[in-house]
Amino acid sequence: MTDDAAAPICLARPPAGPGDARAGGCAAARGVDGRPLHAAALKFFWGPMDCGKSTMALQMNYNHARQGRRGLVTTRIDRSLGPQVTTRIGLSHTAIEVTDDLDLRALVRGRWDEGVRVDYLICDEASFYTVAHVEQMAELVDSYDVDVYAFGLATDFRSCLFPAAQRLFELADEVARIQVEVLCWCGREGLLNARVVDGRVAREGAQVVIGDTVDTAEVRYQVLCRRHYRSGDLGPRR
């Protein structure tokens, strides 16, 4: 694929707003059979803590950038608590912090107004975004022809879906579970993100509480298999 083929259809004439986009201001270029030449997609990659989501997000950003595509990296409540994506294996990348009132469509439009191409978004920690953000992602794909790759947890410490993750499961063109296995202390595959407070598995509390997966943290998270998540057995101390 040449650079030209990968270039965003909307580049020459980005829509001034969602209304314009709906009015056809950003209609995808079509081949002779009437099908869009480039079909943007919303993809959601999910997995428990420690499965390498942020690493994969940065790898995907690198792969696309290498092919001449331009993207933005966004995050929310990264473990560094700063405007960057950091990974447990030492990679980091500056990122745009997503707040409740940030409109992802306006973010892209703003870059276009500055003459900066945006071909795709990498949205890390997407389960901490709002449902409205996920709707904006879908609109970016459908009306702006911008690819959106979201990475995040599926479920919270109570083993219930995060609202944004639920919406991503409902709307995404493609959903993929990240295949790097995280093991429970017993050796079974870990899937659930237990919140540990005072040495016990918490069963209630706020949906988002910042902690880490290191043993010394006051509030920490530990990935457990379903059996040990349900029994609350954290295993022998490491």
Catalytic residue at 218? no
38 or 188: whose CB is closer to Zn ion? 188
Instruction: Give the contact letters, 188-207, x = binds to Zn ion (CB under 5 A), - = no.
Output: x-------------------
Which has the closest alpha carbon to 107: 81, 85, 129? 129
Residues in the interface with Zn ion (CB under 5 A) total: 5
Determine, following the binding rule CB under 5 A, whether residue 184 of this chain makes contact with Zn ion: yes
Q: Are 151 and 117 in contact (CB under 8 A)?
A: no
For 92-146, the three-class secondary structure string (H helix, E strand, C coil) is: EEECEECCCCCCHHHHHHHHHHCCCCCCEEEECCHHHCCHHHHHHHHHHHHHHCC
Q: Are 193 and 162 in contact (CB under 8 A)?
A: no
Alpha-carbon 57 to chain mean position: 8
Nearest 10 degrees: Cα torsion 81, 41, 52, 130: 30
Q: Which is nearer to Zn ion, 11 or 186 (CB)?
A: 186
Nearest distance from residue 226's CB to Zn ion, in Å? 8
From 107, 121, 140, 225, residue interacting with Zn ion (rule: CB under 5 A): 225
Among the listed ranges 79-87, 161-169, 176-184, 211-219, the one in contact with Zn ion (CB under 5 A) is 176-184
Asked if 183 touches Zn ion (CB under 5 A), the answer is no
Q: Binding of Zn ion at residue 118 (CB under 5 A)?
A: no
Chain contacts with Zn ion (rule: CB under 5 A): 184, 186, 188, 225, 228
Q: Which residues are catalytic?
A: 125
